[in-house]
Amino acid sequence: MTDGQKIEEARRAVLALVRAMVHDPDAVSVLVAAHAETICFEIHVAPRDIGKVAGSEGTHRRLIESLLKPISGNHGIGYVLDSIS
């Protein structure tokens, strides 16, 4: 599997998780940005769903980040959650 395929696989995993969390799954997008040796994911959702994705005191955000860690280790690529908007 190429790095591009690995990144797309991780992006789709984040997309599926976030879509399952929100009221408007069709409004969800996950953008990928490369920064040095790290791949950053930017999650965009409908305005009313931002709180659902971030969670109380960032709990859902931390959950998404914790799910990225084993994927990152398996792929050998550093993944981080950059922003939710």
Number of domains in the chain: 1
pLDDT in tens, the chain (85 residues): 898 999 999 999 999 999 999 999 999 999 999 887 899 999 999 999 999 898 888 899 999 999 999 999 999 999 999 888 9
Neighbours of 64 (CB within 10 A): 20
Helix, strand, coil abundance in the chain, percent, nearest 5: 60, 25, 15
Q: How many helices (H) and strands (E) does the chain have?
A: 3, 3
Write down the pTM of the prediction: 0.90
- pLDDT value of residue 45: 95
Domain that holds residue 58: 3-84
Domain CATH code at residue 29: 3.30.300.20
